[in-house]
Amino acid sequence: MNHWIIAPVVLPAFVAALMVLTLRGHLALQRIASLAAIIALNAIAVALLWSATMHGPEAYFLGDWPAPFGISLVLDRLSAMMVALLAVLALITTLYAIGSGWDAKGAHFHPLLQFLLMGVGGAFLTGDAFNLFVFFEVLLIASYGLMIHGGGDRRTRAGIQYIAFNLVGSSLFLFALALLYGVAGTLNMADLAAKLPGLPAGDAALLRVAAVMLILVFAIKGALVPLQFWLPGTYANAPGVVAALFAIMTKVGAYATLRFVTLVFPTDLPATGTLIPAFLLPAALVTLAIGALGILGATTLPRLAAFAAIASMGTAFLAIAHMTPRGTSAALYYILHSTLATALIFLVADLVSRRRAHLRLDAPAPVAQNGLIAALYLASAVALAGMPPLSGFIGKLLILDAWRDQAFAIWPAVLVSSFLMLLGLSRAGSLLFWKPSESEAVADPAPQEPLAVTAAFALFAALIALTLAAGPVTGWLDGTAASLHDPAAYIGANRLEVAP
Amino acid sequence: MEALLASAIGLLAAVGIYLTLRLRTFPVILGLTFLSYAVNLFLFTAGRLAVNAAPIVGTTDAPADPLPQALVLTAIVISFGMTAVIMIMAIGGHLQAGHDRIDLDEDKA
């Protein structure tokens, strides 16, 4: 067995516990330990990515219990890609947190961040549906702590809403899992994929209910309409660096949806059939519209960034709803792009918030270091609206290309929403960076935080790299999508034992 | 027994949903607790109802399924921890804001 598969779960857990127990109150040491662990995580992620590409799916059996009885982690190309994305985003946001001093504004920033990495990494790697629930809870409880980092009454009360919403989601998840177990007698995802086609027709209704409830849970995580209400309040009130890190959390919902619709509930399963895409497609279109209108009507920059996150999830789910290797490949590229782009605009919003008297978009106020921040904002806006030359354009082009068969219905929705986003982002940008220059009165001396600005530029560089390497990346993603839609190797990796 | 358990789960879930939709944090937390009671019972029944059956193969003709019992234990521990977290947050929010309304009044960010 390849023991490195469990490293993205064990390493952050160990480092987090170490920091809480021995490095309490030593911020400098915590920073060093956290950065070292995240750099190690990046190295492990690269190794796992290489291993998954070379050797195909591979399972790790916890406690060496055989697959349907014990818990298995499964490394395949998709999970390796998501872990690598998580590692890169974690490195950049940690550098930003150190550079901007966010991690000094309250206790335990770095341990909570490590626990979040543990939960998200575990959710990407697990091959067991109940274990997925457990890792969801791990990442959620860490995110509750991170969300209210720095305190403040408004942030705390937004946190209560966030927790309540997610607790309802967790209950729904458990209901769905209980139904699934009651019907199929297993919760191992590969075993479910093998067993569900052979279920008696009388169980089909229960299975459909379980499938829809599961997708609802993932839609809560992925902020799909009508379950997106938690996102603007949460992301706009969370510390900027935490909101940037949370860009990966909505992708956990997209990842789980993708995993379940390709592995457990594919369209050729008679009980569910095209039920899930029939729900996903309209929901994704409305999500896109709400996101675009939200950008147009946002009153503050963090709320604008939050609605940009919603719009990007709508676009990603639109590609997932196509349910073909082509659509999946486009969705994966867009997930890579939108995670980085959303994180970038949250970092820009945070940079602006410390250089401007207030964050409202309706009243002018000067921004210190105008040119530098404006350049970053321009980059994030171009990426989010899907304008050339950045990767958002390529991502949306791939999605439009996948939906060529229904171009009359889908293309106008994507193109008009992109135009609305462009309008909203230009309006916000000109209010922030052009109008105030008439008054020429920068209130405070500009904060000098080279590391934070460098971290934001690193995200920009990652977007450029994703654009320049679009050819090889989409080639690799095509292979990933093909293996997702033909999960025989994934199921085979679990070496399922037949119950006596 | 099935009817009794099913209606109990339904009642708990209904109470939970009603309370979760209230405006103040305390009823919301109570509602979430009721929802977790409902889901724990529901999870338990996923292994089929069996009376006087130990979850050990060989002791009875039809042993109970041990896995849902393990799942329920995990779910109870997690929901207990989450309730504690939201409780602390609710108290913190009440002390800082001076009221316990769960909605955010807009446009003050």
- Which residues of chain A are within 8 Å of residue B34 when distances are taken between CB atoms? none
Helix or strand (DSSP H, E) at A432: helix A407-433
Interface of A with B in 354-393 (CB under 8 A): 359-360
Nearest CA in chain B to A147: B89
More confident residue, A370 or A396: A396
Q: Residues A128, A72: contact at Cβ < 8 Å? A: yes
Nearest CA in chain B to A181: B46
Rounded CA-CA distance A451/A289 in Å is 36
- Quote the ipTM score: 0.93
Model pLDDT for residues A79-136, shown as the tens digit of each residue: 999 999 999 999 999 999 999 989 998 888 999 999 999 999 999 999 999 999 999 9
- Which residues of chain A are within 8 Å of residue B37 when distances are taken between CB atoms? none
Q: Residues A325, A482: contact at Cβ < 8 Å? A: yes
Does this model's pTM top 0.80? My answer is yes
- Which residues of chain A are within 8 Å of residue B18 when distances are taken between CB atoms? none
Name the residue among A85, A91, A95, A120 with its Cα closest to residue A337. Answer: A85
Model pLDDT for residues A143-167, shown as the tens digit of each residue: 999 998 888 888 888 899 999 999 9
Interface of A with B in 95-124 (CB under 8 A): none
* Ranges of each domain in chain B: 2-97
Model pLDDT for residues A261-282, shown as the tens digit of each residue: 999 999 888 888 889 999 999 9
Token couple for A497: 């034992």
- Span B57-64, mean pLDDT? 80
Token couple for A465: 């790299």
Minimum-distance CB partner of B93 among A156, A299, A360: A156
Minimum-distance CB partner of A168 among B20, B75, B104: B20
Model pLDDT for residues A298-344, shown as the tens digit of each residue: 989 999 999 999 999 999 999 999 999 999 999 999 999 999 999 99
Name the residue among A284, A341, A167, A162 with its Cα closest to residue A235. Answer: A162
Q: Does A209 touch chain B (CB under 8 A)?
A: no
Residues on chain B bordering chain A, Cβ-to-Cβ distance under 8 angstroms? 16, 20, 25, 28-29, 32, 35-36, 38-40, 42-43, 45-48, 67-68, 71, 74-75, 78-79, 81-82, 85-86, 89-90, 92-93, 96-97, 102-104, 107-109
Residue B109 is predicted with a pLDDT of 41
* Ranges of each domain in chain A: 3-492
